[in-house]
């Protein structure tokens, strides 16, 4: 079968690989009909995730048709059209029982912090991903979810990660009616976080990025205010001014470790560069949220990144909430939002590319060329 093949930082291609095997009675094999490239794949693509092995197949956002099932699978059957949450989760362990499906204890033998994730390095369990014609899906009685017959598969594929992640970002923010929410990042996750913030009753939603076409998209799609941080002297001061010097009630980090921009500090009237790169969004969020406010982090960081200005967290009494999204927990609500017409996630799909053209697809998404927001890969039928 054809599958993505990682060759090292910024080098991906498609090759023939062996058809996946049922290894456990609860496994299923899914024939992939659509898979996406995610901002999370860029951390792998750029070589920033530990133990990303050459030869691996990425892809944690996919839908398809059940091709085969192991003898213990009874919740889905051959021929079912399913969406598969990006978490590899058993549904039974001590964490899954609490709904923490992103922290499943069984699916990642290393059990450091993250649960298993499809196509996301050996740090996340070493599972093959869905940027392929076929993929092995463990715990098939729990994860794969039959797609409602009236649902567009383009909407369904965005239920495997980005819509639930934007929604959980807003949920973890604890948004109260009328709150001002500032979202850093106008990628697919930030866009869905903006849309979701209104569902929780936000009074004002502000999105910040440096890529104008993404800002224009989210302004129209989620009716929010947008600003380019490259046009600001200091984003923290800018947000303070916008909020009568109080600060935002909730800040959402939808960027993660590949953040750009600088953290500035004004000491005795002189502006000093405190830090650049990966720490920026966490600093901006913590410094521009109000006292007693909440910073919700869905942006992905390395397991040992050490970037939080803890003094400001303590002094301002800030709550920080963060996690990998527990996709399955959100599905009933989000399916309802799609079916009622309140949210149309598929509107963010800008590119539809044959799987064989994966190298170009990654390049375009990564470099933000051609007004790219979300790319769907289509395997040969």
Structure-token match 């720490």, residue found: 279
Q: Which helix (H) or strand (E) holds 67?
A: strand 62-69
Q: Considering beta carbons, is residue 291 or 352 the nearer one to Zn ion?
A: 352
Q: C-beta of 38: minimal distance to Zn ion in Å?
A: 3
Residue matched to tokens 């204890």: 105
Shortest Cβ distance from residue 30 to Zn ion (Å)? 17
**Strand boundaries in 254-308, DSSP class E:** 262-267, 270-276, 289-297
In this structure, the dihedral spanned by the alpha carbons of residues 22, 24, 30 and 34, taken in order and rounded to 10 degrees, is: -120
- By C-beta, is 70 or 174 nearer to ligand NAD? 174
Q: Measured from the CB of residue 180, what is the shortest distance to ligand NAD in angstroms?
A: 17
Rank residues 91 and 299 by Cβ distance to ligand NAD and give the closer one.
299
The residue sitting closest to Zn ion, measured at its beta carbon, is: 38
For ligand NAD, which is the closer residue by CB, 134 or 229?
229
**Continuous H helices in the chain:** 39-45, 153-157, 162-172, 188-199, 212-222, 235-242, 280-288, 310-316, 327-339, 358-367
Q: Which is nearer to ligand NAD, 24 or 344 (CB)?
A: 344
Least spacing, CB of residue 339 vs ligand NAD, in Å: 23
Distance, CA of 226 to CA of 309 (rounded, Å): 26
Residue 300, binding choice from Zn ion, ligand NAD, none, Cβ under 5 to 8 Å by partner class: ligand NAD
What, of ligand NAD, Zn ion, none, does residue 215 touch, CB below 5 to 8 Å by kind?
none
In this structure, the chain runs to a length of: 381
Residues that bind Zn ion (CB under 5 A): 38, 40, 61, 161
Q: Do 196 and 166 form a contact (C-beta atoms < 8 A)?
A: yes
Q: Residue 374 Cβ, how far from ligand NAD at the closest point, in Å?
A: 8
Q: Check if the beta carbon of residue 166 is closer than 8 Å to that of residue 189.
A: yes
- Closest CB to ligand NAD among residues 76, 349: 349
Which residues of the chain form contacts with ligand NAD (CB under 6 A)? 38-40, 42-43, 161, 165, 184-190, 208-211, 214, 229, 254-256, 259-261, 280-281, 298-300, 324-325
CB of 354 to ligand NAD, least distance (A): 21
> Across the chain, which distance is largest between two alpha carbons, in Å?
70
Rounded-to-10 torsion of CA 219, 329, 172, 46: -70
- What is the smallest separation between the CB atom of 232 and Zn ion, expressed in angstroms? 29
From Zn ion, ligand NAD, none, interface partner of 324 (C-beta below 5 to 8 A by class)? ligand NAD
Q: Which is nearer to ligand NAD, 161 or 249 (CB)?
A: 161
Which two tokens mark 207? 């999105």
* Residue 66 touches which of ligand NAD, Zn ion, none (Cβ within 5-8 Å per kind): none
HSE toward the beta carbon, residue 70, CA cutoff 13 A:
17
């Amino acid at each position: 079968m054809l599958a993505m093949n990682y060759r090292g930082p910024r080098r991906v291609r498609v090759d023939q690989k062996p058809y996946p095997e049922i290894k456990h009675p609860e496994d299923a094999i899914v024939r992939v009909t659509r898979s996406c490239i995610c901002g999370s794949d860029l951390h792998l693509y750029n070589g920033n995730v530990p133990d990303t092995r050459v030869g691996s197949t990425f892809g944690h956002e996919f839908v398809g048709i059940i091709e085969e099932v192991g003898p213990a699978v009874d919740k889905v059957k051959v021929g079912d059209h399913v969406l598969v949450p990006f978490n590899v989760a058993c549904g039974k362990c001590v964490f899954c029982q609490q709904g923490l499906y992103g922290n499943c204890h069984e699916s990642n033998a290393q059990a450091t912090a993250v649960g298993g994730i499809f196509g996301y390095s050996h740090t996340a369990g070493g599972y093959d991903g869905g940027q392929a014609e076929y993929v092995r899906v463990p715990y098939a009685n729990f994860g794969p979810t039959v797609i409602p017959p009236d649902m567009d598969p383009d909407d369904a594929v965005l239920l495997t990660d980005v819509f639930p992640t934007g929604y959980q970002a807003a949920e973890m923010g604890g948004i109260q009616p009328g709150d001002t929410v500032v979202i850093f990042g106008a990628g697919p996750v930030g866009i869905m976080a903006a849309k979701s913030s209104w569902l929780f009753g936000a009074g004002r939603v502000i999105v910040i990025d440096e890529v104008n076409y993404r800002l224009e998209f989210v302004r129209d799609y989620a009716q929010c205010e947008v600003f380019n941080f490259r046009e600001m002297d200091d984003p923290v001061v800018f947000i303070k001014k916008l909020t009568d010097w109080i600060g935002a009630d909730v800040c959402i980090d939808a960027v993660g470790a590949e953040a750009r921009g600088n953290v500035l500090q004004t000491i005795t009237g002189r502006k000093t560069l405190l830090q650049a790169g990966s720490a920026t969004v966490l600093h901006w969020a913590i410094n521009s949220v109000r006292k007693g406010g909440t910073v919700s982090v869905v942006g992905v960081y390395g397991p040992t990144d050490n970037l939080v200005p803890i003094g400001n967290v303590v002094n301002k009494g800030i709550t920080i909430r963060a996690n990998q999204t527990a996709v399955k927990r959100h599905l009933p609500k989000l399916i309802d939002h799609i079916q009622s017409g309140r949210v149309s996630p598929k509107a963010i799909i800008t590119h539809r590319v044959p799987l064989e053209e994966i190298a170009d697809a990654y390049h375009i998404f990564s470099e933000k060329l051609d007004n790219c927001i979300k790319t769907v890969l289509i395997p040969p039928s």
